[in-house]
A and B are shown apart, each in its own frame.
Chain A
Amino acid sequence: MTPKTLISANHINLSHHGKKVLDEVSFELKAGEFITLIGPNGAGKSSLIKILLGLIAPDNGKIKKSKNIRLGYTPQKFIANEFIPISVADFLKLNQKIDTQFLIDTATLTGIETRLHLPLNSLSGGEMQRVLLARALLAKPNVLILDEPAQNLDVDGQMQLYQLIQDIHQQQGCAVLMVSHDLHRVMKESTQVLCLYHHICCMGQPEAIIKDSQFNHLFANQMDELMATYEHHHNHKHKH
């Protein structure tokens, strides 16, 4: 039996002020898959995610979602309304029914168990990313959409987050669609890499990093455990 398609995008087009942002974008996310969406800044990655989520409407094209889809989503830029006094725990529970044990387990998994009683607005960027991930997980998702979850994190923080995402994908088996602006390094966990620059330039599977060749890095060994390279195979050129 082939894995079930959870979300499919068919010929999505979007223009903004006469400029083409998305051009005939089509792809599918199947159960258990891990798609990494890469592309330079301004390539239309976040617009595509917003269309998938129904936050903005495409000019034309269709999004199909399977009926029993449960979405977990972490936005790229999250600004909590600064005027609302709310604790991390209350934010996690907001508009979803969660039993306390599940909340504590998820907070422990994401490493925010000591932050639960703090005001939401007192968190650092990295802590907020973890809180958002925790909130997404509390929805018991079968699809996790992560828009540049590692932004604003130092290398150590990025690694922890990637490790966490890998664990979640392996253990909970939910499909993942992760956006990254790193063009050459993607998570090894990725089953498919989509390279977007307004249209889908290429797609394919990542290749394992050749040890210490390109990325002579302080954390190279640990990073290698999690990351892989992606070789672009474009058959066309852009006027960038």
Chain B
Amino acid sequence: MEDFIIRAALAAIGISIIAGSLGCFVIWKRMSYFSESISHSALLGVSLGLVSGLGLHFGLLIVGAIFSILIVVLQQRQFLSNDAILGIFSHISLSLGIVLLALVGGANTDYFSLLFGDILSISNQDIIWIYAILVLVSILLSIFWQRLLLLTLNEELGVASGLNRLAYQLLFMLMIALTVSVSVQIVGVLLITSLLIIPPATARVFARSPAQMVLLSIVVSMIAVVMGLSGSIYYDVATGPAIVIALGILFLLSQILPKRNII
């Protein structure tokens, strides 16, 4: 097998574990639009990485973190509804990203692979990044799982038991920013959200506990990325859309199949 295929598969599987588990919280918290906004800010991160020489991942991480914090701060002020705030951020950051990239990246910028993913762009260093973030997110999730889940289930109960709602909201958003920073290369800026929401939406039908939903979601995600990657290589089409179509097929199946608890 070609090296780049092995790298792509390793990257895709790593990302599907991260996105599959965090995605459950995105669904539970109804924050798909938030993850959309953060992923749209990714082009800005790419250009920052280019200009500053910090590289792709640092650029993505810094911009994602700044946007997460800005959104949380604006939400606290409550002068606009959340979806309006996110809508403003989402499109301004996408447009800024495209314009800045044109200015700093020159004519050679491959917009298509940034927007829709490109497995050929995965290097060994990227794999190390993905798995470092996988370890970090897994550790954070296992430490804060109960607290995040209680706050998500009912914020009042969580705060009444002494949890700081703002701190955990920020923690969660930063984890999403981490996920976005490693997912851009595989699925592309425009399609990251589907990696976060379609696997848990598929798993929801069968899961009887939050932990089951996370595990199933990861399994669904892994199957879809492997299907999508193979399709992308075989038919020579963009990776992101191929993965999303595979996710779509699994989601459809979950809706059509008789609703039984398979675990």
Binding site for B on A (CB under 8 A): 50, 53-55, 71, 73, 75, 78-81, 83-87, 90-91, 94-96, 119, 135, 139
Contacts and interface: CB of A to CB of B under 8 A. Distances in A.
Interface string B137-151: 000000000110110
Contacts of B158: 95
Contacts of A139: 161
A10 B208 CA distance: 46
Given A85-B204, A90-B209, A80 B160 contact: no
A80 B152 CA distance: 9
Contacts of B213: 84-85
Given A87-B208, A87-B209, A95 B161 contact: yes
Contacts of A84: 28, 149, 152-153, 210, 213
B159 A54 contact: yes
23 contacts: A53-B159, A55-B159, A75-B156, A75-B157, A78-B157, A81-B28, A81-B152, A83-B204, A85-B204, A85-B209, A85-B210, A85-B212, A85-B213, A86-B209, A86-B210, A90-B209, A94-B146, A94-B149, A94-B150, A95-B147, A95-B158, A95-B161, A96-B161
Contacts of B69: none
Contacts of A71: 160-161
A14 to B, nearest CB: 16
Contact of B160 (A55, A79, A91): A55
Contacts of A90: 209-210
Contacts, number: 68
A176 B216 CA distance: 43
A86 B154 CA distance: 13
Contacts of A53: 156, 159-160
A80 B151 CA distance: 10
B63 interface: no
A54 B154 contact: no
Contacts of B146: 94-95
Q: Tell which of B147, B152, B154, B212 has the most Cβ of chain A within 10 Å.
A: B154
A168 to B, nearest CB: 18
A131 to B, nearest CB: 12
B67 to A, nearest CB: 25
Contacts of B30: 83
B63 to A, nearest CB: 29
A96 B158 CA distance: 11
B170 interface: no
Contact of A54 (B147, B150, B152, B160): B160
A83 B146 CA distance: 16
Contacts of B50: none
Interface in B151-182: 152-154, 156-161
Given A71-B161, A85-B213, A80 B154 contact: yes
Contacts of B27: 83
Nearest to B146: A95
Contacts of A73: 156-157, 160-161
B159 A85 contact: no
B209 A79 contact: no
B207 interface: yes
Nearest to A132: B157
Central interface residue in A71, A75, A83, A91, by most chain B CB within 10 Å: A83
Looking at A50, A53, A78, A119, the one whose CB has the most chain B CB atoms below 10 A away is: A53
Nearest to B30: A83
A7 to B, nearest CB: 13
- 3 shortest interchain CB distances as A-B pairs: A95-B146, A73-B160, A95-B150
B148 to A, nearest CB: 9
Nearest to B161: A95
B259 to A, nearest CB: 12
A55 B165 CA distance: 9
B145 to A, nearest CB: 9
A71 B157 CA distance: 11
Contacts of B207: 85
